[in-house]
Structure 1
């Protein structure tokens, strides 16, 4: 049975800060951000957007009423959970009006959560071929103002419908994965900001890639020449290139040129959004599919997922006939073009706006937020959501 990505959508907040201007404000050479880590803009989540609303808005743009009836499993991958008990997916399930006879769970393993969701979805569909599964990867990356990780923040969500006989990409049989208990990045339950050992995390990202790549080749008998492109989890866009360069010598000059060119295309959306943790790999895939109009059906795309702490996985997909007809290019183009730049001082003010943690009631002004689904406030320790 062929199982894979039938639909894919994306959402990011309407506000962003220019990385050149942030660098100047931090007394850093702008090239360190734009070239050194490869970031141009960083999405800013206003207080009226959280991981729930980002995910709901991403899915809203791709789901039909028929999809909502067919979906019987909602899997929400995030490391920005809003509740230690209730799944963020349950809120999304309600906001989107999905079939009530569905399972809904939240997956957590750093940036790997959405990939775990896809693998779980594949098993469910193998047993229930008529089912559709909604997999969400939604996060707000926060490290703090004037911190080493500040330039790798971001906000956004990717939504995917996984099904049998998918219209966009069939996920192939073989997959290679690895787990090791390390402390390269973590966020204790008492902190709203992450902690990271940046140099160690970069080293582990590349080490994990090396190991799962070798394992994948052994399982599949495929080589570098068999790939049209490889997409990476992108905490920042230069990170994936560092990993890709470790295997380029396995191919010809033609292979190198093709893979590097497609890699650059795959980073364009991430370059203008920033790090969205669980959604970053799939935003990279979306960027490749929507911006490279010459990518042919039948092409094999490699996917490297990495979640600090750490779990890594390499798997592949084959693009389906007429896959471009099932993308939402115009919608995503409009999303990017309609965003508003904020100054560094405005960004800092927005960053410091946080929700109360003492049970206080709060009503938020959602009139300035153009999103269809917003967080409207808190009452009795409950988040209140509005679908306009």
Structure 2
């Protein structure tokens, strides 16, 4: 029985800032951001969008009534959780009108949470082949204004439907993974921005990729030539390129050219969105599949990394007619309908926060085109609306 990705979609907020303008405002050459980091635009989440609404809007694009009936597990990977107790998955479960006979949980391990959910979902489908699992990866990356990490912020979510006999990608069973207790990136419960040792984190990303890649080759007897493309977790697009370059010389010139071209295709969406933590790897997969016309049967490698740290390398096989299960037009509309804001407007939006003392706040959702929004807070409870209901 094949198990894997049946459908996959993403959502990003309707606001963004141009990285050239941000660079000028920060007194640096634009090429430092657009080439050195590899980012062109950065998505900005208004107060009416949080990890719950981003995930719900992503899922809304891909689910039909049959999916809603068969989903019996919702797994939400995030490191931008809104509650220490109640899972974000339960809010999405309600907003999407899923069957009440479904488990709903939240998972956390930095940017690895979405991958952990997908791997657990595979096991659930193996035991329950008639069911489907909705995996959500949603985050808002915040480092603070005028910080070293500011250029690697972003906001967005990816929704993945895992099932038997998938439409998009069969996930192969062998994967290699690694865990080490390191402090390259973390966010204490008392802070709304992350702490990061950038140089150390980059080094660990590369070291983890090298170790799991070598272990994967040993376990599978596969080589770099067996891959049509390799997608990476992209905190910024240049990071994935650095990792890919460490293994390109294992292949022929033809293989190197193929992997390099497909990698560039996998970064196009991330260049427009920025860092979305748990969803970043899967945004690169969507970008690859929608920007390139790959053949069914192609093997796609996937490298997942979550600071702190856990890394994993796994792979999947593209299925016949996989493009029929993508949402190319929806994603193009999402990008094309966005509004560019000035750096001053971005800074103002960034500094607006929700109350943390339980006080009431009503938000104007009329300026947010998303179907699902956060409309305010009342009695310590977040108020969500689905405009389609």
For residue 166 of structure 1, give the secondary structure of its aligned residue in structure 2.
coil
Q: Give CA deviations for 1:99-120 in whole Å, capped at 9, x if unaligned.
A: 1100110000000000000000
Which residue matches 1:351?
A: 350
User: For residues 128-147 of structure 1, what are the structure 2 equivalents within 5 Å?
Assistant: 128-147=128-147
Which residue matches 1:33?
A: 33
Which residue matches 2:379?
A: 380
Which residue matches 2:309?
A: 310
Which residue matches 1:43?
A: 43
- 1:299 Cα shift? 0.3
What is the alpha-carbon root mean square deviation over aligned residues?
0.4
- 1:129 Cα shift? 0.6
TM-score (norm 2): 0.99
- 1:330 Cα shift? 0.4
Q: Give CA deviations for 1:172-192 in whole Å, capped at 9, x if unaligned.
A: 011000000000000000000
For residue 160 of structure 1, give the secondary structure of its aligned residue in structure 2.
strand
Q: Which runs of 4+ in 1 moved over 6 A?
A: none
Distance in 1, matches of 2:220 and 2:354, equals: 48
For residue 69 of structure 1, give the secondary structure of its aligned residue in structure 2.
helix
- 1:350 Cα shift? 0.2
Which residue matches 2:203?
A: 203
TM-score (norm 1): 0.99
- 1:29 Cα shift? 0.6
Which residue matches 2:60?
A: 60
Distance in 2, matches of 1:19 and 1:97, equals: 38
Which residue matches 2:332?
A: 333
User: For residues 112-261 of structure 1, what are the structure 2 equivalents within 5 Å?
Assistant: 112-261=112-261
Q: Structure 2 unaligned runs (5+)?
A: none
- 1:326 Cα shift? 1.1
Say how many residue pairs are matched.
387
For residue 173 of structure 2, give the secondary structure of its aligned residue in structure 1.
strand
Distance in 1, matches of 2:318 and 2:139, equals: 27
Which residue matches 2:268?
A: 268
For residue 175 of structure 2, give the secondary structure of its aligned residue in structure 1.
strand
Distance in 1, matches of 2:28 and 2:149, equals: 13
Q: Structure 1 unaligned runs (5+)?
A: none
Which residue matches 1:9?
A: 9
Distance in 1, matches of 2:212 and 2:276, equals: 23
- 1:66 Cα shift? 0.8
Which residue matches 1:19?
A: 19
